Amino acid sequence: MLSSDGTGDQFDSDNSNVVQLFNMLVKDKPSQQMVYYQSGIGTYTIPQMATPLMAKMSKTVDMMFGHHLDAHVMGGYEFIMQNYEYGDKICIFGFSRGAYTARALAGMVHKVGIIPRCNHQQVPFAYNMYIRDDVKGWEESTAFKKTFSINADIEFVGVWDTVSSVGLIPKRLPFTRANDNIKFFRHALSLDERRVRFKPTIWERPTKQDMDKGGIRHGISRGFPHNFLKRRDSQDGIDTSRSRYDDQYPLLECQHTDVEEVWFAGHHCDVGGSSVKNNTRNSLARIPLRWMIRECFKAEVGILFHRDMFKEIGMDYATLHPRVLERPNIIHHSPCPSPRCPPDSMGQDPTKSTDPAIIYGDFISEELEDVADAISRKHDKLIEAWRWWILEYTPQPTYYQDDNDNHDVIRYKINMGHGRYIPRQNRDVVKVHRSVQIRIKADCLENGKYRPNAKLEVEPKWVP
């Protein structure tokens, strides 16, 4: 279980959903579950930074442009290298550029495999082969994987609001947009983030260009040791001679990733967390945290959680185990109801109570927690931190996949704080969490009626 925190995030007084999730994990049963946490891009520097001034400057640049992404990916890869045993389930979580780190790590495992433990000096070499996207790079990574590596699937990747801006000129790493070596992919996205350097990396379909460069299924089919195909053919007396790319297209065994991407109300840190202090009872970020944990149970990944901590985030463990129960209908009995107490036996509205025990009472149900969280304050960094406006008036490239599955369609524009663009709305189903409906219908928000900054051109599918 690997967790990569968001840009500038680490354990502190306003923890992200990555830390909240990590806090709930069982950590004292290494034979059943091993856990790894990595603080976010911009929180530490590489050892070569000799002076405090250089270290501070490096952290600032890293936070804005993600220059040390390679160190984060290789750190996670070394943890897998040192601990993986055949049959283990690898689960990776991340937020912001930590989400991109998680997807890049899954891509590296897919492209070069997992080298045997203690081969630390080989890790930078393997990473350099992973990031090469030319023909020679693909050929070398295929040969390297067959010679040195253990093949492994990624069981579950759960990410909050992936952003991919890496360097002054953003680059796209292999298998970060799509990766069939991932069994389950879950992505919570922000409807309201506006910063141009925080455009989301949405899951995309593989194109012919992807397949020509090595395919979305690179090297080995899912779930088998690296020499399985050759051994099976030899035993059956079948000619094992293959063309150069045959092993890169084991289409008969190909299993497509189970993908679920859902949009939530709030800005970047309202989806991934770290926008409010740790002792804050309700916030927008709790909704995508609960959604992600529920998806872990629905996928039957087998992650071990501390049962007594579910109510702290507004969930009831009994609704998740031994089976995930269908959620009750959304609550709409009041525009801004209190989450603490349903209407009493006399039919009185508890929102009019002045009793603190009622207003700030204990957990009752997830549905009532959704109501309180959905109407919580948003946190717009373009208002809270004006330095981000410098980039808003600088032409920036935006990459997306169009309705014809063409990758890297590029838009250069001066963003000026505009909302996100959601591609392929006319063809794909846009899934929006049902809590957004609560916020849209609420009449007591401090800035008036809520409208998402991202433009929804079609009627979305509302998901629980």
User: pLDDT of 75-127, one tens digit each?
Assistant: 999 999 999 999 999 999 999 999 999 999 999 999 999 999 999 999 999 99
- What is the domain count for the chain? 2
**Residue after which a domain boundary falls, among 313, 344, 359:** 313
Establish if 165 belongs to a structural domain. yes
Please tell me whether residues 133 and 242 are part of one structural domain.
yes
β-partners of residue 431 are 461
Do 339 and 258 belong to one domain? no
Q: Are strands 258-264 and 182-190 parallel, antiparallel or unpaired?
A: parallel
Residue 351 and residue 306 in one domain: no
**Residue 242: φ, ψ to 5°:** -135, 155
**Cα separation of the two ends of the chain:** 25
Listed residue (419, 408, 384) closest to 176, CA to CA: 408
* Residue linked to tokens 């984060």: 72
Residue 288 shares a structural domain with residue 379:
no
What residues are paired with 159 via a beta bridge?
94, 187
**Neighbour count for residue 74 (Cβ, 10 Å):** 19
**Separation between Cα atoms, residue 375 and residue 373, nearest integer Å:** 6
Q: Are residues 94 and 220 in the same domain?
A: yes
Q: Pick the closest to residue 428 from 254, 181, 268, 261 (CA basis).
A: 261
CA triple 431-38-19, angle to 5 deg: 55
Answer yes or no: do 231 and 308 share one domain: yes
Distance CA(126)–CA(119), nearest Å, equals 11
Residues spanned by the domain of 361: 332-463
Antiparallel, parallel or unpaired: β 182-190 and 154-160: parallel
Identify whether residues 195 and 340 lie together within a single domain. no
**How many C-beta atoms surround the C-beta of residue 51 within 10 A?**
8
CA proximity to 159, closest of 205, 93, 229: 93
What per-residue confidence (pLDDT) applies to 7?
Answer: 62
Specify if 322 maps to a domain: no
Q: Which tokens go with 448?
A: 């008036």
Domain shared by 341 and 420, yes or no: yes
Percentages helix, strand, coil for the chain, rounded to the nearest 5? 35, 10, 50
Q: Are 374 and 281 found together in one domain?
A: no
Q: Is residue 326 part of a domain?
A: no
Q: Which long-range contacts (CB under 8 A, 24 or more apart) does 246-252 make?
A: 247/142, 247/146, 247/219, 247/220, 248/138, 248/142, 248/214, 248/215, 248/217, 248/218, 248/219, 249/211, 249/215, 249/217, 250/217, 250/220, 250/221, 251/217, 252/221
Q: Is residue 232 part of a domain?
A: yes
The low-confidence residues of the chain, meaning pLDDT below 50, are 49-50, 55, 65, 169, 215-216, 220-253, 335, 338-360
Helix, strand, or coil here: 36? strand
pTM tops 0.85: no
* Residue 65 is assigned to a structural domain of this protein: yes
The residue written with tokens 């976010």 in the block is 40
What is the distance between the alpha carbons of residues 61 and 46, in angstroms, rounded to a whole number?
Answer: 13
- Out of 313, 345, 380, a domain closes at 313
Is 323 a member of any domain? no
Q: Is residue 388 part of a domain?
A: yes
Q: What is the DSSP letter of 462?
A: E
Question: Which residue type is seen at 221?
Answer: S
**Residue 392 sits in the same domain as residue 300:** no
Is residue 147 one of the residues assigned to a domain?
A: yes
| 68 and 133 part of one domain | yes
| Residue at which a domain ends, from 251, 284, 313 | 313
Dig out the tokens for 102 from the structure.
Answer: 């998680």
- Give the per-residue pLDDT at 169: 47
Three-class DSSP category at 397: strand
Taking only the tens place, the pLDDT of each residue in 139-166 is 999 999 999 999 999 999 999 999 976 5
Q: How far apart are CA 381 and CA 139, in angstroms?
A: 43
Nearest-angstrom CA–CA distance, 334 and 386: 36
Asked whether residue 370 falls in the same domain as residue 248, the answer is no
Report pLDDT for 247.
43
Q: How far apart are CA 28 and CA 31, in angstroms?
A: 9
Please answer whether residues 70 and 36 qualify as being in contact, where contact means their C-beta atoms are separated by less than 8 angstroms: no
